[in-house]
Amino acid sequence: MGKIIVEIPEDIVSRMKIPYREAAERVQRELALRLYERGLITFGMARKLTGMTRWEFDDLLGEQNIVRSYDVEEFQKDLKNIEELQ
């Protein structure tokens, strides 16, 4: 799988008012949130992009007031996992 590298000019990074070393992570997180919010990527893809666990990304969605889409397929997977744990 390939990667896309995006260059962000220093003046824009400085306007973000965050430490320079955190800029890439913050931009990736924002990208994941917006793409997920628009339905362009799945929950799992967004999670992978942020490097967060399922629970961490779910919390982040809540903090950003983004409603998590939860379809029947995801529900069935969760139900199966619960049954296997019992």
Q: Give residue limits of the domains in the chain.
A: 10-85
pTM above 0.85, yes or no: no
Residue 8 in tokens: 């962000």
Q: How far is CA 31 from CA 59, 74, 79, in A?
A: 16, 23, 30
Looking at residue 29, its pLDDT comes to 95
Q: pLDDT 10s digit of each residue in the chain, 86 long?
A: 788 888 888 898 889 888 888 888 999 999 999 999 999 998 999 999 999 999 999 999 999 999 887 778 778 888 888 898 88
The residue length of the chain stands at: 86
Looking at residue 79, its pLDDT comes to 85
